[in-house]
Each structure stands twice: as C-alpha cells, then as structure tokens.
Chains A and B, each alone.
Chain A
Amino acid sequence: MSGLLPQLFQHAVHNRGIASASGTFGVVPVVLCLVLLFGIDIAGMRGHLGERGRMVVIIATPLALVAALTIAARIALLLA
C-alpha cells in the first residue's frame, strides 16, 4: 500500500494489455520528454542554461527510459 501503487494498480486494471497501455499512457512521457528537451534547446541558444538545464535533464532522462521501455515492449509484442 505505497503511494504510487494506487496509480499502478489503476493502470493495471484499466489497461490489461501492454499494447493498450503503451498506446495511451506511454505517449505522455514521450511528449513531455520532447517538450522539455525542446525547451532546454531554446534556453541553451539564449544562454540561460544553468541549473534549470540540469534539472530538465534529470527529469527528462527517466521519461526517455520509460518511453524506450514502452517501445521495446511493443516491439516484443510484435515479434512474439
């Protein structure tokens, strides 16, 4: 009964297959990751990159990992 588990349980209940889960909730980390990286690119061009840039990288990295896992899961489903 941990804090993030309600969401995990809801997720598992509402989306029984990997395909449907990655088709709906998997897209959000990808979009957020792209938005953050686009923002950091603009900030870098303006010379405002500092601790905010580091923070964006820290948050974007796990998002990219989640996105990669989603893509890998879908490929595994296709090949299976």
Chain B
Amino acid sequence: MSALRSEQALAVRRPLALPLIGAGALLAVQIGLLGTRHLLIGDFASALLVAVLLTVGNRSASPAVLAALRALAVVAVLPVLALGLPLGDGSVAAGTFLLAGIVAAIWFAAAPVIGINRAPAFSLRAPLSQFSLLLAGTGLGFLAYLAGAPRGWAPHATTAQIVLDGAALAAIAVAEELIFRWLLQGALQRIARRLGLLIVIALSAAVYVGSGPPSLVIVMAIAAASFSFAVDRSGSALGAILGRIGLVLGAGFGGPLLIGAAGIAVLHFPRWRGWEGTASLAIWLALVTVVAVRGAKGRASKGQAVRWR
C-alpha cells in the first residue's frame, strides 16, 4: 500500500521519474547482463522489466508518462524475442526475417495504443536531406567496419545466401528504426524533448555493448545520434531508415568487399580499434550528441508527427 502511494506521489510530482528509472534499468540490463554475455539472467531480467513497465503508473501517471513506459516495455521485450526464437542450427537469415516481421508487427499494433501516428513515419519530407542520410549511413557503415563490425555473411556462403543475409539485415534495420526512432523517441520526447533524445541514443547504442570493441559501440552511438536528430528535425523516419540500411550494408558487406584485407595496411585497422581510434571517435560522438540534443525541437511541439491522446 505504501509502495503504491509512493509510486503515485512520484508520478504526480516528477513526471519524468518513472520513465527515467525504467530507461536506467533497461540500460543496466543491456550493458551489465546482455553486454557481458550473461544471456539467460539478462533474458529473465528483460522479461521482468516488461512486466513491471506495463504495470507501474497505471493509477496516477499522465497519459504521456504511461505512453513512455509502454514504449520502454516494447524495447525491453525485443531481447526476449530475439533470444527466444529457436534458431540453433536453422537459417540465421530466416530467423532474422522472422524477427523483423514480428518487431514490425509490434510497432504497427502498439503505435496507436501509445498515441503515435504511423503514417508520417514514411512521409517524404525534405527528400534531398532524407536521401543524403543513405550516403551518411553508408559512410558510417564503412567506419563501423574499420572499428570492428563483423562481416555480414558466413565464410562459405553462396552468392544467393549473401544476398539473402543482406536483405535480412536491411529488414531488421527497418524494424528497429521504427521501434527506436519513431515509437520510443516520439513517446519520450513528449515529456522531455532533449532528455528523451539522449535516452533514445543511449538505449539504441547500448545494444552493441559486448558485440565488438568500444570503438564500434561509439560508431553506433554516432549513427544513433545522427538518425535521432534527423527524425526530430524532419518529422519522418524515412531518412533514418535509409541511413540505417546504408549503415548495416556498409558495415557488413560494403566494408569487407571494398576495403577488405587490402585496406588493413592503408587504413590502420588496429589504430581504429585501439585507444587512438576510440578516443577520436568519442570526441566526434560528444560533438554530434551536443548538436543533436541542443537542436532538438521535439516533434510533438510542432504537432507534425505525434498525435496527442
């Protein structure tokens, strides 16, 4: 009873407190458990977070806070789904396509409940800048490859398998952008436009912790900051989606094919993956994040893309 009262008081006095605690818990699970390969306990912790985020704040919180908590619950359920799929010896491409379809279906069904309009996500606003993100994303993809991103195909894959793997990567990139950049960012920026943007950048970059050297995580954070800023300014997720497709294809396919082993001597892979590369990328990340957060206007304030309930 006292716990309920304190939760109500927290929700009324500080509307950002509950989403901030939820986002902090998500980051802790992602970095502390899943990032350090404590997969099973991380899986259980994510499932617990889903149940908690769907339960808290139901009696007292404002609709915007409830929407933010529900969007965080959607993000928390993603690792549970990714880890729960019975891939094993089966096709990784088929599993990735299936996961992309499931995540896109969740976005499609959850957006109206959270109060987010789906249609403007694909609108062609400022087409030149939206398509220029494809180039920017591809460039960041090459940088991600230099920073330690793995190849996008298995060693003995045929051409057809490589094409299928690339298509699966692109499909899941679209689904993830819709969840992180459209659903979560839209919900969080209603209650705090700048802090909301920062949380989205942190959460989408934290997914890569443990999957490569720190320089790779920083490149992904730079990409997240750029895409979040683009969505915030344009009121459309199309540019971010194109940029993300360029990023994953550049990192997994463009980099290995065009730079490949020949580039090792010229481009100094070890330096990019060592402390020099990490430090210079961290400075770049700081600059991009400051520009993105300071320039955030919040789509909700303009009434462009987010429908208030």
Q: Are B89 and A16 in contact (CB under 8 A)?
A: yes
Interchain CB contact under 8 A, A4 and B207: yes
CA distance A58 to B109 in the complex (A): 7
Contacts A3-B208, A6-B207; A25 near B43 (Cβ below 8 A): yes
Binds A, one of B15-23, B32-40, B122-130, B281-289: B32-40
CB distance from A53 to the nearest CB of B (A): 10
Complex Cα gap A19–B172 (Å): 25
Cα-based distance from A52 to B44 in the complex (angstroms): 22
* Contact assessment for A54 and B113 in the assembled complex, using a CB-CB cutoff below 8 Å: yes
When distances are taken between beta carbons in the complex, the residues of chain B under 8 Å from A69 are 85-86, 98
* A71–chain B nearest beta-carbon distance, Å: 9
User: Given A59-B74, A59-B106, is A29 in contact with B80 using a C-beta cutoff of 8 Å?
Assistant: yes
What band does the interface of chain A fall in when counting residues whose beta carbon is under 8 Å from B? 35 or more
Are A11 and B87 in contact (CB-based, < 8 A)?
yes
Proximity bits, B67-100, A CB within 8 Å = 1, else 0:
0001001100111111111111110100110110
Check A36/B54 contact, CB under 8 A, given A25-B43, A58-B106, A58-B113. Answer: yes
Given the complex, which residues of B lie within 8 Å of A5, measured CB to CB? Answer: 96, 169, 172, 211
Query: B82 contacts A31, CB within 8 Å?
Result: no
- In chain A, positions 20-57 with a C-beta closer than 8 Å to chain B are 20-22, 24-26, 28-29, 31-32, 35-36, 39, 48, 51-52, 54-56
Inter-chain contacts of A58 with B (CB < 8 A): 106, 109-110, 113
Q: How far is the CA of A14 from the CA of B253 in the complex (A)?
A: 24
Query: Does the CB pair B90–A4 fall under 8 Å?
Result: no
Name the one of B47, B87, B95 contacting A31, with C-beta atoms under 8 angstroms: B47
> Is A25 within 8 A of B40, CB to CB?
yes
A70 with B86: CB separation less than 8 A = yes
* Cα distance, A79 to B102, chains bound together (Å): 27
Q: Distance (Å) between the CB of B49 and the closest chain A CB?
A: 10
Would A18 and B89 count as touching, CB distance under 8 A? Answer: yes
Contact assessment for B90 and A32 in the assembled complex, using a CB-CB cutoff below 8 Å? no
- Does B88 contact A16, Cβ atoms closer than 8 Å? yes
Check: B64 CB closer than 8 A to any chain A CB. Answer: no
- Most chain B CB within 10 A, of A11, A56, A63, is at A11
- Bound-state CA distance A54–B251 (Å) is 38
Bound Cα distance A21, B150 (Å)? 23
Say whether B87 contacts A8, CB under 8 Å.
Answer: yes
- A55 pairs with B172, CB closer than 8 A: no
Per the bound structure, the CA–CA distance linking A52 and B61 in Å amounts to 13
> Provided the pairs A8-B96, A31-B47 are in contact, do residues A52 and B58 lie with their beta carbons within 8 angstroms?
yes
Looking across the interface, which residue of chain B has its beta carbon closest to that of A76? B86
Query: Which of B55, B73, B172 lies in contact with A4, CB distance below 8 A?
Result: B172
Closest to B211 in A: A6
Can you give 21 A-B contacts (C-beta < 8 A)?
Answer: A1-B152, A1-B169, A2-B173, A2-B176, A5-B211, A6-B207, A6-B210, A7-B83, A8-B95, A11-B39, A11-B87, A12-B88, A18-B87, A25-B84, A31-B47, A32-B47, A55-B73, A63-B84, A66-B81, A66-B102, A73-B90
11 A-B pairs besides A21-B88, A26-B86, A73-B90 with CB distance below 8 A are: A2-B172, A3-B207, A4-B78, A18-B87, A18-B89, A39-B51, A39-B55, A52-B54, A55-B54, A55-B70, A58-B113
